[in-house]
Amino acid sequence: MMDQRTGYGGPDRRRHRMYVTRNTEYHFRDAVCVAVRDRRSGSWLPSHLALHRKVTGRVRFQPNGVAIPDGGEPEIGEALYFGDDGRELVTSLLTSVERPKKTLVVAYPEPSSFAAPV
């Protein structure tokens, strides 16, 4: 796909993506959630269930209210679906899918700070 701004037509090599809901930002490096941030306070959420997990797919909501998970790429108006390791997690609906600013990427908490308390 051709990037209209740069004219680059090769594969997308960007590693970071941010899925945004009304209250939360889910930050991914490659396919793994590396940070979750509360949008109101700007605070990182070190114990969020999405951390260190791959997104399994999306949940689409039908007009009659039925929720249908599938393995597709999540889009605006759909929810992220984490279904691995036996613990399902469905987020609220996405309001945007963005590239995080570099200042956010360098501010991601270190993985060791996400360790469970002993």
The stretches of 3-45 forming alpha helices (DSSP H) are none
User: pLDDT digit string (tens) for 35-84?
Assistant: 999 999 999 999 999 999 999 999 998 899 899 999 999 999 999 999 88
Sorted by sequence, the CB contacts under 8 Å of residue 114 that are 6+ apart come out as 46, 47, 51, 52
Q: For position 118, what pLDDT does the model report?
A: 38
Q: Hunting for tokens 């469905």 — which residue is that?
A: 90
Q: For position 114, what pLDDT does the model report?
A: 46
Q: What is the pTM of this model?
A: 0.81
- Min mean pLDDT across 7-16, 21-30, 41-50 is at 7-16
The stretches of the chain forming alpha helices (DSSP H) are 102-106
